[in-house]
């Protein structure tokens, strides 16, 4: 009963959105802003204004101000519930960015971006620093999308594209953010904001960041490739099915099929196993029928007995 209540409770969604906003803020505020590698969207525009102001305009505050018009649009198109979650998401994200960077009055001593670890990464392992930022950004956004929220900006565009056309959010964000990255690169070059690294190099880093974060967003939403689905064609289908059920404790489904080349009706075995069980499955099938034809596909998400519950 408690499990059902928790699953239906929006409180879980809001807690998860807050966690995602914090992870995203870590990626942007600590790893990307001072590296001058923009993530695109409203965050990228806010970073550009931050640079143009001589680092005086707080990034989080600018993100919040720029997001308000998009928030109003999102409420009209996607509904009031989406609007509440969006306002909650981008407000927390903006707050966390400025909080972690020490730009909120009373918290100026935090400034995680000035830690010795960040200085060492910036000087000796710039690529790894950007990679961490990309992963944190993607994980944070993925969690937010997973629990039906956004942080506004291009996320709203992505959510609308997903709702109306079934486009994956990561792909929609990637296309929308490309133009922002190009604009930010132009500003960095125009103001000579990164004398030690050419603006073109930073733009290429930003495109890499965009690709990595988009892939991680889709991975968080769709699930990891932790399971495999096998289609098995064999004359000894009954024996193979029994082996799978008895030795692997996995369910088996039989599909009717017809081989066009020989015009023969055959049974196709369908079984889903965990990744760690795949080699055992193939070994046992081949032990029964060395000539068995096996097709293995990646499975992003499996719900039901023997596999995980949906988050």
What does DSSP say about strands 253-259 and 227-233: parallel, antiparallel, or unpaired? unpaired
Render 66-128 in DSSP notation, one character per residue: HHHHHHHHHHHHH-HHHHHHHHHHHHHHHHHHHHHTT-STT-TT--GGGSHHHHHHHHH-HHH
Which pLDDT score, from 0 to 100, does residue 194 have?
A: 73
Structure tokens at 263: 């015009």
Find the DSSP H helices in the chain.
2-8, 10-25, 41-52, 59-78, 80-100, 116-124, 126-146, 154-165, 169-191, 199-222, 237-247, 278-288
Are residues 185 and 54 part of one domain?
A: yes
Which pLDDT score, from 0 to 100, does residue 225 have?
A: 59
Say how far residue 47 (Cα) sits from the centre of its chain.
21
The stretches in the chain having pLDDT less than 70 are 1-8, 79, 81-82, 155, 159, 169-170, 173, 195, 223-226, 304-311
310 in a structural domain: no
Asked if residues 266 and 223 have their Cβ atoms less than 8 Å apart, the reply is no
Structure tokens at 114: 């000035």
Find the CATH number of the domain harbouring 248: 3.30.70.120
Are residues 242 and 108 part of one domain?
A: no
Are residues 181 and 148 part of one domain?
A: yes
Asked if residues 273 and 296 have their Cβ atoms less than 8 Å apart, the reply is no
DSSP summary character for residue 277: G
Are residues 128 and 76 part of one domain?
A: yes
Are residues 235 and 180 part of one domain?
A: no
Which residue range(s) make up the domain with 253? 227-299
Domain boundary among 222, 251, 271: 222
Q: What is the pTM of this model?
A: 0.74
Which pLDDT score, from 0 to 100, does residue 46 have?
A: 92
Which pLDDT score, from 0 to 100, does residue 244 have?
A: 93
Strand-pairing partners, residue 266, are 257
Are residues 64 and 46 part of one domain?
A: yes
Report how far apart, in Å, the C-alpha atoms of 152 and of each of 13, 41, 135 are. 16, 9, 19
181 in a structural domain: yes
**Count of domains for the chain:** 2
Which pLDDT score, from 0 to 100, does residue 69 have?
A: 85
């Amino acid at each position: 009963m408690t499990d059902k209540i928790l699953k239906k409770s929006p409180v879980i969604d809001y807690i998860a959105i807050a966690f995602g906003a914090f992870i995203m803020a870590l990626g942007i505020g600590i790893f990307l802003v001072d590296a001058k590698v923009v993530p695109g969207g409203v965050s990228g525009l806010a970073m550009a204004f931050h640079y143009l102001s001589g680092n005086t305009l707080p990034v989080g505050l600018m993100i919040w101000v720029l997001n308000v018009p998009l928030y109003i649009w999102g409420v009209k198109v996607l509904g009031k519930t989406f609007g509440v979650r969006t306002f909650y998401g981008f407000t927390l994200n903006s707050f966390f960015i400025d909080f972690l960077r020490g730009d909120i009055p009373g918290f100026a001593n935090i400034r995680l971006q000035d830690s010795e670890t960040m200085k060492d990464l910036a000087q000796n392992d710039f690529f790894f620093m950007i990679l961490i930022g990309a992963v944190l950004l993607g994980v944070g956004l993925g969690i937010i999308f997973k629990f039906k929220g956004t942080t506004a900006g291009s996320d709203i565009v992505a959510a609308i594209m997903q709702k109306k056309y079934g486009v994956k959010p990561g792909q929609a964000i990637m296309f929308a953010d490309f133009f922002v990255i190009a604009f930010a690169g132009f500003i960095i070059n125009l103001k000579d904001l990164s004398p030690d690294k050419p603006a073109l190099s930073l733009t290429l880093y930003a495109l890499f960041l965009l690709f990595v974060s988009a892939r991680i967003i889709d991975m968080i939403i769709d699930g990891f490739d932790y399971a495999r689905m096998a289609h098995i064609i064999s004359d000894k289908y009954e024996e193979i099915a029994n082996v799978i059920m008895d030795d692997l404790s996995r369910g088996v489904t039989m599909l009717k099929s017809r081989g066009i080349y020989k015009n023969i009706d055959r049974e196709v075995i369908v079984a889903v196993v965990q990744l760690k069980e795949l080699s055992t499955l193939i070994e046992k099938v081949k032990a029964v029928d060395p000539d068995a034809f096996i097709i293995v596909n990646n499975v992003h998400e499996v719900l039901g007995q023997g596999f995980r519950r949906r988050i």
